[in-house]
Amino acid sequence: MKKAFIIIPLFLSGFLFSQKKPLKKSSKKPYSSVKFNYHDEFKKISDEIMTNGTAYDNLGELTKGVGPRFSGTPGYARAVEWAEKKLKDIGIEMIWRQEAKVPMWIRGKESLQIKAGNGDWRNIRMLSFGNSEGTGGRDLTGEIVLISSTAELNALSIGKLKDKIVFVNLPMDPTVINTSDAYLAAAKSKLISASVIAKTGAKALIIRSLTTAFDDTPHAKMVYYEPDDKTRIPALTIGVRSADELEKLLKKQKVTGKINMSAEPKGETTNPNIIAEIPGKKDSKVIMIGAQLDSWDFAEGAHDDGSGVVQCIEILRTLKALGIQNNHTIRVVLFANSENGGQGHDLYTAYVKKKEEKHVIALGTDAGGYSPRGFSLDMPPQRRRQIFEWKNYFLPYGVYDFDQTNAIQDISPLKQLDIPLAELVVDPQRYFDYHHSTEDSFDKVNKRELLLGATVLTQMVLMIDKNW
């Protein structure tokens, strides 16, 4: 059901533009008319956000009020209405939509049972991979076989895994201190590719959840099938405690698994990217800040990426509250379909290319609402050097790491257009405890840490706007 506060008219272009009464003139002296002392300006931004910031309350509304916002569901439609209203409430006049085609996938009922030897069946908590094929609601039964390494997989003779259920107990490497690096290394393993495992003749894949937590909460993962796959096998994940217990059982005796998944694709629909901007006073070059609006179907998505969404809104609110006269257009993009397809960021990249829009930078926030530690910089060396020169301004806010070069998924396609990329780097040690699970909830986010992230993002936007 559409809420009454949505009053944005539809144009033939396919984009929506909001209407807003003219704002009252700010009593504060415009920033453009004063000489900048960046230490002072950073303090003004920090004081405003840490005292008056609305990001934490907004996150509570998004996670507890809207709830899960998976692509192609009513939850995502509610999130769109919520985001547009929040942007209008802070005085943003330019708000529009980009409608992206997104896959519709229904998880449905799902279960995993195992039986050791001639014992009784017992239930194991599980999650289907996103976009996975199901079992048609029927039981799929087979012997479970443990694979521990790619070398072991490659050494198996043809047919050895035929009609088996392959179980991969591959933990994230605890010796890698940056947990994002550990996650990516594990996620890229051939062992957890449904397409690779299907080519062995196996009929299903079970993996240990990619998480740093030692509990029994399953963490979702996206499945990718290759176009030439003759068979698309069901794929699912289990918590780390169940994974370790299953491995111990398999080393002692034969274990049989019974999988029942009604998961299935339901075609396509459209979900919009939400775009909001404050036009530049000097030119139309764009400073873009992006976050993903969608979450998994079972999760509040507080850290991933509700925190990023409310931080983006907070940046625009703060610029308005302080009367900052921005040289370039400051644009927020809330991406659709990041979790199970990426159609939102592909659409935005195509739009920028077609319109030949000049982007000064694309800045992302998708690492959670933890304490900020720095910015990952994927850009030409001269631009990196310039940001390095700003370090002393950021140090009082705990921000010191400018050495990383990775960019998050939703802004990374813009690299092909030679747009400099940057991502907020936060303390990474707890993010994968909750990532893609039911544990990623509002209570896991600390208000002060969340607001500090919004603070340094706004400070970086200011520096780029005044110096690039």
Query: Which residue is it, tokens 């107990």?
Result: 169
Tokens of 214: 């030692």
Upper half-sphere CA count for residue 415 (Cβ side, 13 Å): 17
C-beta of residue 70 within 8 angstroms of C-beta of residue 295? yes
- pLDDT at position 11: 34
The residues, ordered by sequence, that sit 6+ positions from 199 with a Cβ below 8 Å of its Cβ are none
Report the share of the chain in percent with pLDDT over 70. Answer: 92
C-beta of residue 453 within 8 angstroms of C-beta of residue 291? no
**407: pLDDT confidence band, cut at 50, 70 and 90?**
confident
* Helix H or strand E encompassing 353: helix 343-355
- pLDDT at position 158: 67
**409: pLDDT confidence band, cut at 50, 70 and 90?**
confident
- pLDDT at position 422: 97
Average pLDDT over residues 361-386: 97
**Count of beta carbons in the 10 Å neighbourhood of residue 23:** 9
- DSSP single-letter state for residue 370: S
pTM, two decimal places: 0.90
Task: Give the burial class of 418: count Cβ atoms within 10 A of its Cβ; 0-12 exposed, 13-18 middle, 19 or more buried.
Answer: exposed
Axis crossing angle, helix 307-321 with helix 447-467, rounded to the nearest 10: 60
Rounded distance between C-alpha atoms, residue 386 and residue 17, angstroms: 36
Upper half-sphere CA count for residue 112 (Cβ side, 13 Å): 26
Average pLDDT over residues 319-344: 97
Rounded distance between C-alpha atoms, residue 458 and residue 468, angstroms: 15
- pLDDT at position 297: 97
Q: CA torsion sign, 441 to 408 to 71 to 6?
A: positive
**35: pLDDT confidence band, cut at 50, 70 and 90?**
low
The domain at 108-262 falls in which architecture? 3-Layer(bba) Sandwich (3.50)
Average pLDDT over residues 447-454: 98
- pLDDT at position 408: 76
Residue 23 above 90 pLDDT? no
φ and ψ of 203, to 5 deg: -110, 0
**Same CATH topology for 31-102+268-467 and 108-262?**
no
Instruction: State the greatest distance between any 2 C-alpha atoms of the chain, in Å, as a whole number.
Output: 81
Residue 448 above 60 pLDDT? yes
Average pLDDT over residues 148-162: 84
Buried b (16+ CB within 10 A) or exposed e, 380-397: eeebbeebeebeebbeeb
- pLDDT at position 53: 98
Q: Topology of 31-102+268-467 in CATH? A: Aminopeptidase (3.40.630)
Residue pLDDT, tens place only, 39-93: 999 999 999 999 999 999 999 999 999 999 999 999 999 999 999 999 999 999 9
Average pLDDT, the chain: 92
Q: Choose among 404, 406, 332, 409: nearest CA to 374.
A: 404
Rounded distance between C-alpha atoms, residue 224 and residue 234, angstroms: 11
Residue 24 vs residue 272, higher pLDDT:
272
Give the residue extent of every domain in the chain.
31-102+268-467, 108-262
Tokens of 7: 């009053």
Residue pLDDT, tens place only, 278-308: 999 999 999 999 999 999 999 999 999 999 9
C-beta of residue 322 within 8 angstroms of C-beta of residue 48? yes
Which ranges of 178-265 does DSSP label H, i.e. alpha helix?
A: 179-187, 194-198, 240-250
Residue 425 vs residue 10, higher pLDDT:
425
Residue pLDDT, tens place only, 354-371: 999 999 999 999 999 999
**Count of beta carbons in the 10 Å neighbourhood of residue 158:** 9
**33: pLDDT confidence band, cut at 50, 70 and 90?**
very low
- pLDDT at position 435: 97
Average pLDDT over residues 110-132: 96
